[in-house]
Amino acid sequence: MIKVCLPAIALLAVSFTLAQAAECGPDALGVSRTLKVGTEGGLKVGWKTYPDTLPLADHEVILTFDDGPDPKTTPLVLDALKAQCVRATFFAIGRKVDAAPQLARREVVEGHNVALHTYSHPQPTLRYMPEATARADILKGAVAVERAAYGQSFPDGDPDDLGKLKLHAPFFRYTGFADTADLNAWFAKDRVAVFSVDLWASDWIPMTPEQELKLIFSRLDRARKGMLVLHDDKPWTAAMLPKFLIWLKARGYRVVEIEAGPGHGPVEKAPPGWRSETGRTIDSIRPRWVKAAARRGVRFKVKPAPQE
């Protein structure tokens, strides 16, 4: 039996949200609305990978962060979001959550989602691992997030299947956006939505905060809306974020937060001529992953990349 101990965290989150709302003045960016995302039936969103995304109006953005929490940079990211009364979704790495559980708890208390991004952030990606190994890594990451961020306890031992785990943010993002049909079917069965993204900051590449700010707005102003991925473990992103949030408001952008909801979707279809950009990218760098795996002595056979 899985025991859930949530009242204290839930009360803290409600108290913080009410206090934050009282502090948010007209100059703060804030959150314009909440979008309920139904995760039933195999939801997959984000135009970089899938032909569906979450529906947004002109100049609406969803903020997501990957690869944290990081003790040095995530607090700076959270401080910047708090100063502007903005809420985001953090796709957290389980081993980092285990190393910094207080940061995962802080994210929830301050009104953010803490969602799933594997336990170990494996390279090569999950696509080139045996399915059982990939599932185990995903499940271990989910247990770490639920225990640290949401206060679940497991007196009878950690659950051995995703379906036995109560996920408070049933959202998953693949490392490298490299999905598989088998894993997608597993997520669909257990009502977990798979998230790609519409826009990326490319902040996995070292750059100055000024360069990153310019790059993001060059893409955002062209697209005029979208779900954006940043990385809360990058110092240049943490340094850039305060000005980025101020500029969002100055340029007329509005932040939409997401929450798990009933049903499926909603979704917006991609425009005619859409193709998966991440699919082409993953295939192009596959040889490098194969060589990297061989150098580290990874003991699994790299499977062929699926055809688009």
Cis geometry, peptide bond prior to residue 124 (ω within 30 degrees of 0): yes
Q: Band the pLDDT of 299: cuts 50, 70, 90.
A: very low
Q: Rounded mean pLDDT of the chain? A: 89
* pLDDT score recorded for residue 306: 32
* pLDDT score recorded for residue 114: 98
* pLDDT score recorded for residue 290: 65
Is 0.85 topped by the overall pTM?
A: yes
pLDDT at 282 over 60: yes
66 classed as catalytic: yes
Contact 186, 135 (CB under 8 A): yes
202: left (phi over 0), alpha (psi -120 to 50) or beta: left
Residue 235 CA to residue 111 CA, distance in Å, equals 23
User: 193 is written with which tokens?
Assistant: 């939505």
112, 121, 168, 231: the active-site residue: 231
The CA-CA-CA angle for residues 162, 146, 37, to 5°, reads 70
283 classed as catalytic: no
Contact 305, 127 (CB under 8 A): yes
Question: Where would I find the beta strands (DSSP E) of the chain?
Answer: 3-4, 33-39, 44-45, 52-53, 60-66, 89-92, 113-116, 152-153, 171-172, 193-195, 199-200, 226-231, 254-261, 264-265, 268-269
pLDDT at 91 over 90: yes
Full DSSP string of 136-160: HHHHHHHHHHHHHTT-EE-TT---S
pLDDT at 230 over 80: yes
66, 67, 179, 232: the active-site residue: 66
pLDDT at 308 over 50: no
Domains of the chain: 3-293 (3.20.20.370)
* pLDDT score recorded for residue 19: 54
